[in-house]
Structure formats: C-alpha cells, structure tokens
Structure 1
Amino acid sequence: MIPKLRVARPTNNLQPLIRFYRDGLGLSELGSFTNHGGFDGVMLGHPQAPYHLEFTTQQDHLIAPAPTPEHLLVFYLPDHSQWLLAVERMQEQGFAPVVAYNPYWDQLGRTFEDPDGYRVVLQHAAWKY
C-alpha cells in the first residue's frame, strides 16, 4: 500500500488560493469544510493522485506566511502539449511567470507565485527518480 501525502498549509487568502490552484493549475476540489472547530478549508488535487493540498483559514486569526523563493511545489509534465496547456491556463487566469531563484527551474520550466508568496514550478520534464 502506498500512503497518500497531504500537504497542509494555513492561509489568510483562502479564496485567492483556491483560484490559483483550482482554476490556474487545474487541480480538482476534492473536499472542503466550513467552521470545523473554527477552521474553514479546502483539499485540492487530482482524484487518482497519491497527494493533495489542504489550505485552511481560522476565523479571527491571522497567520504570518513564511515563504522564501526556494519553497517550491514542482509538477513534472513531460508531455509538451500538456505542459504548454498548463502554462497557458495559468496565464489566462492572470498568473504571470516569475523568474526562479534557482536558474535550474527556468531551463525547462515556468515558475508561478501563489497569493501567499509560495512558488509552483511547471517543469517540462519527466520525473527520473
């Protein structure tokens, strides 16, 4: 059995993050909750993938995001047409690529910054490891 990975992160920008990851990146909304112990949240991913992202917000509580230019989520898209569609979808949703802090990611990829300042790379390559 392969375990599933959940990456959970608090935010003050839940709706803008949903737009970035669902509408921009094309992830599916797998579930959500409202006022669960004072928290609202959403899980985003691909239904068949062994991972998903969870974003939460707590009423009357502000968090201090702590991103650096090296906090990355990397999605490997080896098919050129799929990679190009993913990049175009991000741009059509109003998300412009940013220059990667590590120039390696600009060689075969495009980096985008989410509303909290964390970065996502769409890498036009196959995962080799």
Structure 2
Amino acid sequence: MGGVCISSKSSPVIANTTKNEIKLKPTIPSRHSNTDKPWFDIQYHDKDCTRIMKPNEIKSMMLKPPNAVNKTDLNRILGSLIGLALGDALGAHVEFRPYQYLCEHPVSDLQEGGTWGLIKGQVFIKI
C-alpha cells in the first residue's frame, strides 16, 4: 500500500502540482524519524515517494495497528485525553489562574462560563 521514504538531501522540490495532489521530493529526515515511531514519518502511496497520503487515506490503515501497542504509551495517551476533558470541565473556574490561587481557592463545584461559555461539566469537543 504505502511506503516511507527518507532522504538526507535538503530542500523539497514541489513540481507538477494539481488541485488534489502535491508532489514532493523527500527532504531532511524528520526529527521524529526512527524505526520505533513510524507514524511520525510522511506516508506515501508509492515507493518513488511522489504522492503523500492524506489523513483520510491513512485512517483505514490505522484501524488495526500492524504491531502490538505499548501499554505504557497507551496509558499515557489515555491519561492525556482524560486530563484534557477534566481541564475543559474545570476550565471556567481555573482557567488562567496561577497554582497558588488554586491552592487557596480549591474547586468544590463545577462552574459555568469560561472562555468558551461552557455549561456546567461540558467538555469542549468539536467533531
């Protein structure tokens, strides 16, 4: 299906662009480029690295990961997502407040309002 091309050469060349396609020559390897985190690398449709996959094209490949998922990494990801949801729910009261203020005025009940005008306990997610 797709492949990953990495080159140590510099400066991308954009040529023969159309409305739906941009062709790039691979450039400097990504700072994330390594074998244990291939999802950070640009994914291509072909081995010549002429057509970059778009997110909706990668989605079907990501439904079932090719390798076992590291439970520690998965727990960190889930913890981050839960933290984001809690931050949104508490945000109206604690947003932009320093740590010391939060120690002196701990949250005892959810508040409405905040930057996004959320109702009590609402999480800010746009899908």
TM-score, L = length of structure 2:
0.24
Structure having the larger proportion of residues in strand? 1
Structure having the larger proportion of residues in helix? 2
Ranked by relative contact order (alpha carbons within 8 Å, sequence separation 6 or more), the top structure is 1
